[in-house]
Amino acid sequence: MAVFVGDSFAMGTLYGSDAMRAVFDDSAWFQAMLDVEAALARVQSRMGMIPADAGAAITAAARVENLDAAELAASVRNVGYPVVGVVNGLSRAAGDAGAWTHWGATTQDIMDSATVLQIRAGYDLIADDLRAIIAALAIQADAHRATVMAGRTHLQHALPVTFGLKCAIWLMPLLDHLTRIEQLRPRIERLQFGGAAGTLASLGADGPAVIAGLAAELCLAAPLAPWHVARDGMAEAVGVLGLICGSLAKIATDVILLAQTEIGELAEPYVAGRGQSSTMPQKRNPIASEYILAAARQVQALVPVMQGAMAQDHERATGPWQAEMLALPQAFVLTHGAVLHARAIAEGMVVDTGRMRQNLDLTGGLIVAEAVMMGLAPVLGREDAHHAVKHACDRALAERITLAAALAHEPEVTSRLDADAIARLTDPAAYLGSTQVFINQVLAVANRS
């Protein structure tokens, strides 16, 4: 097994995605650093700070294949950071123009800006798949807006709901997460460029102009000031991943509970061999949901690491910054793995409407006791209505009869309601409140996302 299971050639398919690993692997990271160095050279060439042809030459050389992996690894082990090796390799590949690489920059400028480019790409992947989940759940919410099922509180039957409403409730936080992603981009997708101590003294009066030009070149926001030790954006990037995983974990938890043999109302998409047991041929375990829960626990455990790393000393940190590198790539890989599992569930879930109805009827109508009480309250008063319905519920349980049959034995009820009225009050489909309004409101926003 790999040290980080998300990188395992076998288990990595369950804990992450090839696409997200490609965003955060070594090649991508070093290429991102080279991209920042090349953009810096182009901007400074245009500004006349370095020779006019140096920017183009450095850009042409800024390819990860121009770096010697063994040399780079040796440099990192010795220096403690990768940028010295990156600059040495880039400078050599750029020939005479190489003398002008990394002009006025510091190691953390390059590494932070490269990480920001990776975060942008990572969030692009996550947002695209969240939209796919939203679209799939919206279809289910609309298709099952009238599919009545037992609503459960404290794992017990509570009141009737519809499966469409359940899907809409699953969907709703994902809409907020898309909004969060768009709102956090200006705070996170910001250039880092401040020189040795965040003053850009090496560039004299040209520092702010270089920041503006480099930010535009990389399509990033220009910060008000360098943020070497202001790490709220990095912490927020992983914090939102924790929120996303939390919402997916809620879906996974419901799927696992609804897939229990005794419930059997919902199942993950069936694929031959998926979730099978090595000893029990009949098993179809909710494996995607299980890995969503596992990923959520780990991502949420990484959130405090990022928040703890905000306590950085003076103008450059001694340790907290390095801790971010342990947490951030893992959080993105695990989150995307969870998102892909959730997408597979949303797009292929197997809904057993017959079993939903069967389970709804398990209590013989007791699930609508509140409906009867509220129907009687205007004529009996709330307290007397509650007492009468409670007495009928006790009788239904003791005698194993339906609530409607028990109500027929209550004089306070039969003196005011005939059999048809009792039947209407005990119909679960007639006690769904504002379900359709809520579904419509969620779908209206989903359809715009």
316 is catalytic: yes
Measured CA distances, 50 to 47, 124, 290, 309 (Å) = 8, 34, 55, 36
Q: Which residues contact 399 (CB under 8 A, 6 or more apart)?
A: 406
Question: What tokens appear for 224 in the block?
Answer: 């008000």
Q: Which residues contact 373 (CB under 8 A, 6 or more apart)?
A: 382, 385, 386, 389
Give the span between the Cα atoms of 184 and 366, in whole angstroms: 47
* DSSP assignment letter at 351: E
295 and 339 Cβ atoms separated by less than 8 Å? no
Residue owning tokens 């008063």: 381
Residue 62 CB-density burial (10 A; 0-12 exposed, 13-18 middle, 19+ buried): buried
The single-letter code of the amino acid at 152 is R
Give the span between the Cα atoms of 143 and 39, in whole angstroms: 50
113 and 220 Cβ atoms separated by less than 8 Å? yes
Catalytic residue among 27, 46, 187, 277: 277
* DSSP assignment letter at 55: H
Q: In DSSP terms, which residues pair with 149 in a beta bridge?
A: 161
Give the span between the Cα atoms of 446 and 137, in whole angstroms: 9
Catalytic residue among 274, 316, 357, 416: 316
Largest distance between two CA atoms of the chain: 101
Give the span between the Cα atoms of 378 and 105, in whole angstroms: 76
Buried residues in 73-94 as b, exposed as e (16+ CB within 10 A): eebeeeeeebbbbbbbbbbebb
Question: What tokens appear for 190 in the block?
Answer: 């910001």
Measured CA distances, 98 to 24, 90, 261, 414 (Å) = 27, 7, 67, 95
Question: Quick one: CA torsion of 239, 245, 249, 255, rounded to 10 degrees?
Answer: 160
277 is catalytic: yes
Residue 237 CB-density burial (10 A; 0-12 exposed, 13-18 middle, 19+ buried): buried
- Residues annotated as catalytic (active site), given as ranges: 277, 316
